[in-house]
Amino acid sequence: MTTLVTGATGFACAHVVHALAEADEEVLALDLAPPSEEYRQYLGRLEDRVRFVTADVLDTAALLELAKRYQVRRFIHGAAITPTTEMERAIPQRIVNVNLMGTVSLLEVARAVSADRFVLMSSTGIYAPQADRDAVVTERSPVQAQGLYMICKTAGEQLLKRYKELYDLSTVSGRMSSIYGPMERATATRSRPSVIYTLVRACLRGQPVQASGMANRRCYAHAADAGLIWRHLALAAELEHDIYNVSSGRAHSLDEVLGTLRSLEPSFVFGDQPSARDAVQVAHLGDRNVLDISRAATEFGFSPRFDLRQGLADYLAWAQDHPTLFDLET
């Protein structure tokens, strides 16, 4: 049986494809962009389990033909535009078409082939802010979507529930936190890199960092750990819930992230006061609560393989081996 992954050559989905192939699953990796040389190197011998195809998620007929030809039984839908505010102002219709109508298109294909599972890659960014800093965010916590990306993710989750009710299609949404790790880079659909990518790049370029929101926290997960949860959601014979948090279950302040980087690279310079003119600006805007991952832990036995220090060390080593993705070569 084959699993179709959309947005397959993007950052998060690279780890989904890797996790599936590592479990000897046949993967149909769909994207408008071809895999980079770094992507193929990351897969290594696992590429034998992966077939790359080019198609638009809005082209339902093409998707259906591919699903039938390769006997697709499971779908993991990760294709999306991650827009800046400027992009929202410039191309709102395109963003909604890809991020929401693309989900409808793929759901129709899954329905037509009587798929075994449909997984939507949603976001923990849809959760409403918590008044209590110590509160743990569960899958039952209130939702308050802001911005076109989060609005489309919220609507997409509701679409999955309705298709399950109407057509008895097995659907599940995973809400993913901030992730970091190998294969992150700016693309046409993901123009704003993560805080940790920005910090690692500055660290390896020898640039000082001026930070704000040092005490504010984020739940960060190594992308390879997130890939394991996505694999479980796709392959599990039965699921007890419609929604799962995809994260490490650990929150870290920006100060903690910076301090961990400095412990790994002692020459790394950062602070919250104005510094050198070439200082890289980073911020944690607003505090985020710890995300509960007990559903994944209980049902799948999931436990993160990387803590923050291990994850950052892994990422730094990978970045040093792939300098062109961080503009490190002169």
DSSP code per residue over 66-77: HHHHTTEEEEEE
> What confidence score (pLDDT) does residue 230 get?
98
> What confidence score (pLDDT) does residue 287 get?
83
Parts of the chain belonging to CATH 3.40.50.720 = 2-179+220-246
> What confidence score (pLDDT) does residue 284 get?
87
Parts of the chain belonging to CATH 3.90.25.10 = 182-219+251-288+306-326
What CATH architecture applies to the domain 2-179+220-246? 3-Layer(aba) Sandwich (3.40)
Among 294, 22, 287, smallest CA distance to 132 is for: 287
Segment 242-272, tens digit of pLDDT: 999 999 999 999 999 999 999 999 988 887 6
CA distance 91 to 99: 12
> What confidence score (pLDDT) does residue 133 get?
85
> What confidence score (pLDDT) does residue 275 get?
62
> What confidence score (pLDDT) does residue 276 get?
62
CA distance 183 to 44: 14
Crossing angle between the packed helical segments 147-167 and 102-112, to the nearest 10 degrees: 20
> What confidence score (pLDDT) does residue 171 get?
98
Positions of the chain with pLDDT lower than 70, given as ranges: 186-191, 272-277, 328-330
> What confidence score (pLDDT) does residue 20 get?
98
> What confidence score (pLDDT) does residue 188 get?
59
CA distance 81 to 79: 7
Residue found by looking up tokens 């007890």 in the block: 240
Q: Which CATH superfamily is domain 182-219+251-288+306-326 in?
A: UDP-galactose 4-epimerase, domain 1 (3.90.25.10)
pTM of the predicted protein model: 0.94
